[in-house]
């Protein structure tokens, strides 16, 4: 087992309208000697925006803005901008988040040169109806039963509204690999991967071909009991000498509902579609009261990480209400992962 220290809660909701119901699932990045944290802030009726603060060290808030930095502006995100992740590639910050219009939840991109002024690039995942996804993806033979169970029309859908496949947890790798931009995304129950030359390549023809070869793009599938229901991306991949360290979330169903745990895997540095190893147990799971009780109980949802020497600090949403951090030794985690190579 990997030894890990839970450092506790670092950010809670306030009485400000935009974050009065909760703060959770932050994007975190180090830049110019500062730690920047962009977090999902929840207002009444579950409307989300993205708040911003800086840290003086990995667990101490230094400044915190009293207004969100990214708010819903367009029809596709009118019910909220959720669960940001961030990387810096070629001097440009890539902030991905889930845009929610009340029905559809889809991966969206904004970019910035200074972490202050953001240019929204719009939805970058496919806007594809459930039936078309199934027709295309099953051209190679039937996909897993869970794809059919998780990705079907909700029984109460509005027939006047387009209903698309939910495609969330879009997370870029923090550099180009063999000249390509890579990102993870999640169509339940697995984690899939995309490699492109430019963002503009993500057009309808690209996605049609992608789904015709859908099985080739699945990078991780649920394997162990703690992730048996479904999995999804967590923190942006961390480059190590042994591969891309991926901290993701795994979900399993219990009589008290879903339990979300933080998990760890390694992907190949040059061919990130290839899984090298995976921990057969959760890296950490809901054990503290503040992880077990909240807006959604029993949730540890990792979304951001920074490194300080050999130490990895993992930032996560705790019970969908507050933000906490956990720390571990990277060499120890890598040594443990390498015991479970595939």
pLDDT tens sequence across 181-229: 999 999 999 999 999 999 999 999 999 999 999 999 999 999 999 999 9
Confidence of residue 160 (pLDDT cuts 50, 70, 90): low
Tokens of 103: 């029905």
Say what the pTM is: 0.97
Write the pLDDT tens digit of every residue in 26-60: 999 999 999 999 999 999 999 999 999 999 999 99
Write the pLDDT tens digit of every residue in 313-335: 999 999 999 999 999 999 999 99
Cα 55 to Cα 31: distance, rounded to the nearest angstrom: 11
Indicate the helix (H) or strand (E) that contains 250.
strand 243-254
Cα 342 to Cα 340: distance, rounded to the nearest angstrom: 6
pLDDT at 148: 84
Write the pLDDT tens digit of every residue in 227-260: 999 999 999 999 999 999 999 999 999 998 999 9
Contact 188, 146 (CB under 8 A): yes
* DSSP bridge pairs for 6: 326
pLDDT at 144: 82
Q: What angle do CA 267, 27, 252 make, to 5 degrees?
A: 60
Q: What is the DSSP letter of 164?
A: B
Write the pLDDT tens digit of every residue in 265-292: 999 999 999 999 999 999 999 999 999 9
Q: At what angle do helices 130-137 and 204-212 cross, to 10 degrees?
A: 50
| Half-sphere exposure at residue 154, Cβ-oriented, CA atoms within 13 angstroms | 13
Tokens of 92: 């440009």
* DSSP bridge pairs for 300: 318
User: Is residue 10 predicted with pLDDT exceeding 90?
Assistant: yes
Tokens of 278: 């995976």
The distance of Cα 96 from the centroid of its chain, to the nearest Å, equals 9
Mean pLDDT of the chain: 95
Cα 52 to Cα 89: distance, rounded to the nearest angstrom: 20
Write the pLDDT tens digit of every residue in 300-314: 999 999 999 999 999
pLDDT at 131: 87
pLDDT at 154: 64
């Amino acid at each position: 087992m990997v030894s890990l220290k839970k450092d506790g809660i670092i950010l809670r909701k306030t009485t400000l309208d935009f974050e009065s119901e909760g703060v959770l699932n932050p994007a975190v990045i180090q830049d110019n000697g500062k730690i920047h944290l962009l977090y999902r802030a929840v207002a009444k009726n579950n409307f989300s925006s993205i708040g911003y603060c800086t840290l003086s060290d990995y667990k101490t808030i230094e400044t915190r803005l009293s207004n969100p930095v990214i708010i819903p502006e367009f029809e596709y995100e009118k019910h909220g901008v959720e669960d940001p992740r961030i990387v810096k590639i070629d001097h440009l910050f890539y902030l991905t988040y889930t845009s929610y219009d009340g029905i559809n939840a889809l991966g969206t991109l904004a970019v910035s040169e200074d972490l202050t002024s953001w240019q929204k690039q719009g939805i970058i995942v496919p806007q594809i109806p459930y039936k078309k996804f199934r027709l295309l993806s099953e051209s190679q033979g039937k996909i897993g039963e869970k794809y059919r169970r998780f990705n079907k029309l909700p029984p109460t859908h509005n027939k006047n509204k387009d209903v698309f496949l939910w495609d969330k947890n879009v997370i870029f790798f923090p550099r180009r690999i063999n000249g390509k931009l890579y990102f993870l995304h999640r169509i339940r129950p697995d984690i899939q991967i995309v490699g492109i030359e430019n963002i503009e390549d993500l057009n309808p023809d690209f996605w049609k071909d992608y789904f015709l070869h859908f099985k080739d793009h699945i990078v991780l599938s649920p394997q162990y009991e703690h992730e048996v229901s479904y999995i999804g991306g967590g923190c942006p991949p961390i480059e190590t000498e042994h591969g891309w360290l991926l901290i993701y979330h795994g979900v399993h169903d219990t009589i008290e509902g879903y339990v979300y745990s933080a998990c760890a895997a390694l992907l190949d540095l040059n061919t990130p579609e290839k899984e090298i190893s995976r921990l057969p147990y959760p890296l950490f799971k809901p054990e503290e009261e503040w992880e077990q009780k909240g807006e959604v109980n029993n949730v540890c949802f990792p979304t951001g990480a920074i490194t300080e020497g050999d130490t990895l600090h993992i930032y996560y949403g705790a019970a969908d209400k507050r933000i906490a951090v956990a720390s571990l030794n990277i060499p120890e985690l890598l040594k443990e992962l390498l015991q479970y190579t595939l």
